[in-house]
Chain A
Amino acid sequence: MSPVNKSEHGLSRRNYWRSLEQLENSPEFQRWAQAEFPEGLSEVISPVTRRSFLSLMGASMALAGLSGCIRRPEEHILPYSKAPEDIIPGIPNFYATAYPHSGFGVGVVVESHEGRPTKIEGNPQHPFSLGATDVFTQASVLNLYDPDRLTSYVSGGQAITRSAFVDQLRSKVSELKTRQGAGLRFLSGLSTSPTLEALSAQLSQSLPQAVWHTYEPVSLENAVAGGHLAFGQAVIPTYQLDKADVILALDCDFMGTEPGSVLYGRQWSRRRGNDGASTPTNRLYAVEGIFSITGAMADHRLRLPSSHVDGFIRALGAQLSSQGLSLPSELQMALEPHRTHPFDARWVSALSAELLAARGKSVIMVGSAQPASVHALAHALNASLENVGQSVQYSPAPIGVASVANPDTGLTGLVAALRQNQVETLVILGGNPGYDAPADLELATLIKNVPTSIRLGSHQDETALACKLVVPQSHYLEMWSDVRALDGTASIVQPLIEPLYDSMSELELLSHFVDGASNRGYELVRAQWQTALGTLDFEKRWRRMLHEGVIADVAAPPVQVVLNGASIGAGLAQKEMPQLSLQNLELRFVTDARVFDGRFANNGWLQELPDPMTKLTWDNAALISPRTARELAVKRGDMVSLKYRDRTLEMPVWPMPGMADYVVAVSLGYGRTHSGRIGTGTGFNAYLLRDSSAPYFDAGLVSTRTGGTHLLATSQEHGSMENRPLVLEATVDEYQKNPRFAQEAVEHPPLRSVFTEHEYVGQQWGMTINLNVCTGCSTCVVACQAENNIPVVGKERVLRGREMHWIRIDRYFAGDEETAEAVQQPMMCQQCQNAPCEPVCPVAATVHSRDGGLNDMVYNRCIGTRYCSNNCPFKVRRFNFFNYHEDFTEIEKMQQNPDVTVRMRGVMEKCTYCLQRINSARRQMKLSGAARIPDGTITPACAQACPVDAIVFGDVNDPESRVSRLKARDMNYALLAELNVKPRTSYLARLRNPNPELG
Chain B
Amino acid sequence: MDNQRPPMEGEPRRRPTGYLFPAWTNKIATAALTGILVMGGVVTFVVWYYFSPKHTDVGYQPVQPVPYSHKLHAGDLGIDCRYCHTNVEKSAHATVPPTQTCMNCHVTIKKDSAALLPVRESFAKNIPVEWVKVHKIPDFAYFDHSRHVVRGVGCVECHGRVDQMEVVRQVQPLSMSWCLDCHRDPAPHLRPKEESVTQMDWKAPSDAASFGQDLVQKYNIHPPTDCSGCHR
**Cα A931 to Cα B222 with chains together (Å):** 12
Judge whether B96 and A77 touch: CB under 8 Å: yes
CA distance A76 to B62 in the complex (A): 11
Using a CB-CB cutoff of 8 Å, which residues 272-290 of chain A contact chain B?
none
Chain B residues contacting A902 (CB-CB under 8 Å) are 139
For chain A residues 58-77, which have a beta carbon within 8 Å of chain B?
71-72, 74-77
What 1/0 flags go to B92-114 for Cβ under 8 Å of A?
11011111100000000000000
Measured in the bound complex, the distance between the Cα atoms of B75 and A488 in whole Å is: 62
- A81 and B227 in contact, given A76-B133, A923-B144 (Cβ under 8 angstroms): no
Q: Which of A67-106 touch B at CB < 8 Å?
A: 71-72, 74-83, 88-91
B75-96 interface with A by 8 A CB criterion: 87, 89-93, 95-96
Q: B40 on the interface (CB 8 Å rule)?
A: no
Q: Is A858 an interface residue (CB 8 A)?
A: yes
- Contact A926 B142, beta carbon cutoff 8 Å: no
Indicate if the CB atoms of A82 and B232 lie closer than 8 Å.
Answer: no
Cα–Cα distance between A857 and B194 once the two chains are bound (Å): 38
User: Does B226 lie within 8 Å of A851, measured CB to CB?
Assistant: yes
Q: Which residues of A lie under 8 Å from residue B125 when comparing CB positions?
A: 81
Nearest A-chain residue to B60, judged by Cβ: A72
Inter-chain contact B227/A83, CB cutoff 8 Å: no
Is B14 an interface residue when CB atoms closer than 8 A count as contact? no
A900 contacts which chain B residues (CB < 8 A)? 232
* Alpha-carbon distance between A847 and B224 when the two chains are bound, in angstroms: 14
Q: Are A79 and B95 in contact (CB under 8 A)?
A: yes
Query: CB < 8 Å: which of B57, B128, B142, B151 contacts A899?
Result: B142
- Choose from B100, B129, B146 the contact partner of A927 (Cβ within 8 Å): B146
How many chain B residues have a CB neighbour from A under 8 Å?
Answer: 46
Q: Known: A72-B56, A856-B226, A915-B232. Contact between A81 and B98, CB under 8 A?
A: yes
Q: Which of A82, A856, A860, A926 contacts B228 (CB 8 A)?
A: A856
Q: How far is the CB of B169 from chain A (nearest CB, A)?
A: 13
Picked from A78, A82, A926, the residue with its CB within 8 Å of the CB of B130 is A78
| A155 → B minimal CB distance (Å) | 32
CB distance from B181 to the nearest CB of A (A): 18
- B122 at interface by CB-CB < 8 Å: yes
A71, A83, A851, A860: the one contacting B231 at CB < 8 Å is: A860
Q: Is B150 an interface residue (CB 8 A)?
A: yes
List of A residues within 8 angstroms of B133 by Cβ: 74-77
Q: Decide if A637 is an interface residue (CB 8 Å cutoff).
A: no
B178 close to A (CB within 8 Å): no
- CB atoms of B226 and A850 under 8 A apart: yes
**Contact flag A88-B98 (CB < 8 Å), given A78-B128, A851-B228, A926-B150:** no
Contact A80-B128, Cβ < 8 Å, known A88-B90, A916-B232 = yes
Cβ–Cβ < 8 Å partners of B89 in chain A: 927
The residue in chain B whose Cβ has the minimal distance to the Cβ of A78 is: B128
Q: How far is the CB of B162 from chain A (nearest CB, A)?
A: 16
B229 at the interface (CB under 8 A from A): yes
Q: Return chain A residues, CB-CB under 8 Å to B92.
A: 90-91
CA A93 to CA B144, docked complex, whole Å: 18
Contact B131 A858 (CB under 8 A): no
Q: Is the CB of B126 within 8 A of A82?
A: yes
Contact flags B40-64 to A (C-beta < 8 A → 1, else 0): 0000000000000000110010100
**Residues B87 and A90 in contact, CB atoms below 8 Å apart:** yes
CB-defined contacts of B144 to chain A, threshold 8 Å:
923
Is the beta-carbon distance between A931 and B220 smaller than 8 angstroms? yes
Are A79 and B225 neighbours in the complex by a CB distance under 8 Å?
no
Q: Please name all residues of chain B whose beta carbon is closer than 8 Å to the beta carbon of A74 when the two chains form the complex.
A: 62, 132-133
Interchain CB contact under 8 A, A858 and B91: no
In the bound complex, how far is the Cα of B144 from the Cα of A90, in angstroms? 9
Residue A901 interfacial (CB < 8 Å): yes
Known contacts A901-B140, A926-B150: A83-B91 contact under CB 8 Å: no
Q: Cα distance A76–B133 when bound, in Å?
A: 5
Decide if B147 is an interface residue (CB 8 Å cutoff).
yes
Q: Does residue A389 face the partner (Cβ distance < 8 Å to B)?
A: no
Does A82 lie within 8 Å of B227, measured CB to CB?
A: no
- Which of chain A's residues 637-693 have a Cβ closer than 8 Å to chain B? none
* A925-976 at interface with B (beta carbon < 8 Å): 926-927, 931
Q: Are B128 and A83 in contact (CB under 8 A)?
A: no
Known A899-B232, A926-B151; judge A90-B91 contact (CB<8 A). yes
Cβ distance A646 to chain B, nearest Cβ, rounded Å = 58
CB distance from A669 to the nearest CB of B (A): 36
Interface residue from B96, B140, B229, B231 paired with A79 (Cβ < 8 Å)? B96
A342 to chain B, nearest CB (A): 60
- Shortest Cβ distance from B100 into A: residue: A82
Which residues does chain A contribute within 8 Å of B95, judged by CB atoms? 79, 88-90
Residues of A within 8 A of B147 (CB): 923, 926-927
Set of chain A residues within 8 Å of B62, measured between Cβ atoms: 74
Q: Say how far B96's CB is from chain A's closest CB, in angstroms.
A: 4
Please name all residues of chain A whose beta carbon is closer than 8 Å to the beta carbon of B122 when the two chains form the complex.
Answer: 81
Cα(A912)–Cα(B227), bound, Å: 12
- Which residues from chain B contact A736 at a C-beta distance below 8 Å? none
Interface centre among B87, B127, B146, B232 (most CB of A within 10 A): B232
- Give the nearest-CB partner of B125 in chain A: A81
In the bound complex, what is the Cα–Cα distance between A71 and B56 (angstroms)?
Answer: 9
Q: Are B93 and A89 in contact (CB under 8 A)?
A: yes
**Contact indicator B150/A927 (Cβ below 8 Å):** yes
Q: Shortest Cβ distance from A661 into chain B, in angstroms? A: 51
**B136: A residues at CB distance < 8 A:** 75
127-163 of chain B: CB within 8 A of chain A: 127-133, 136, 138-140, 142, 144, 146-147, 150-151
**Which of B126, B128, B229 has a CB less than 8 Å from the CB of A851?**
B229
Provide the residues of chain A in CB contact with B139, threshold 8 Å.
Answer: 901-902
Flag if A847 contacts B123 (CB, 8 Å): no
Chain B residues whose CB sits within 8 angstroms of the CB of A850 once the complex forms: 225-226
| Extra contacts besides A852-B228, A854-B228, A860-B138 (15): CB < 8 Å | A76-B131, A76-B133, A79-B95, A81-B99, A81-B129, A91-B87, A91-B92, A851-B226, A856-B231, A899-B232, A901-B231, A902-B139, A916-B232, A919-B142, A927-B147
Residues of B within 8 A of A (CB): 56-57, 60, 62, 87, 89-93, 95-100, 122-123, 125-133, 136, 138-140, 142, 144, 146-147, 150-151, 220, 224-229, 231-232
Which A residues contact B (CB, under 8 angstroms)?
A: 71-72, 74-83, 88-91, 847, 849-852, 854, 856, 858-861, 899-902, 912, 915-916, 919, 923, 926-927, 931
Interface CB pairs A-B, < 8 A, 6 = A74-B62, A81-B122, A83-B98, A849-B224, A854-B228, A901-B231
Give 5 nearest A-B pairs by CB, closest first. Answer: A849-B226, A90-B91, A78-B128, A83-B98, A90-B92
